[in-house]
Amino acid sequence: MPDAVPAARRSRASVVWMIIGGLSAVAPLFGPLGTTFQYLADFFAERPQSVQGPGVGFFVELLALIVCPVGLLVFTIALVVFIRSRK
């Protein structure tokens, strides 16, 4: 039975999805979650904290925490497809 999509094209697409998944898994660590480390450093150093409600940054960090595992999942699926297309 002939394959509908050639293996080279499928592996190229899976490499692109691996790059997208890897970047989306790592990017939150350098962006919004990087400021969280500053908040934690202030907390452990017992510096005064503001008592305001959650700002926009909180929701951006929450979104980043959701994007990170999704990026890992996309990377894993693309890696499996890439390995299977090589066989």
DSSP string, 19-65: HHHHHHHHHHHHTHHHHHHHHHHHHHTT---------HHHHHHHHHH
Answer whether residue 51 shows pLDDT above 70: no
- The answer to whether residue 72 sits within a structural domain is yes
How many structural domains is the chain composed of? 1
- The answer to whether residue 21 sits within a structural domain is yes
Lowest mean pLDDT among 4-8, 42-46, 64-68: 4-8
Answer whether residue 52 shows pLDDT above 80: no
- The answer to whether residue 2 sits within a structural domain is no
Which range marks the domain in which residue 53 is found? Answer: 7-86
- The answer to whether residue 69 sits within a structural domain is yes
- The answer to whether residue 79 sits within a structural domain is yes
CB 39 within 8 A of CB 3: no
- The answer to whether residue 77 sits within a structural domain is yes
- The answer to whether residue 1 sits within a structural domain is no
pTM (two decimals):
0.58
Most confident stretch, 5-9, 36-40, 82-86 = 82-86
Over the stretch 18-47, which tens digit does the pLDDT of each residue have? 888 888 777 776 766 666 667 777 777 877
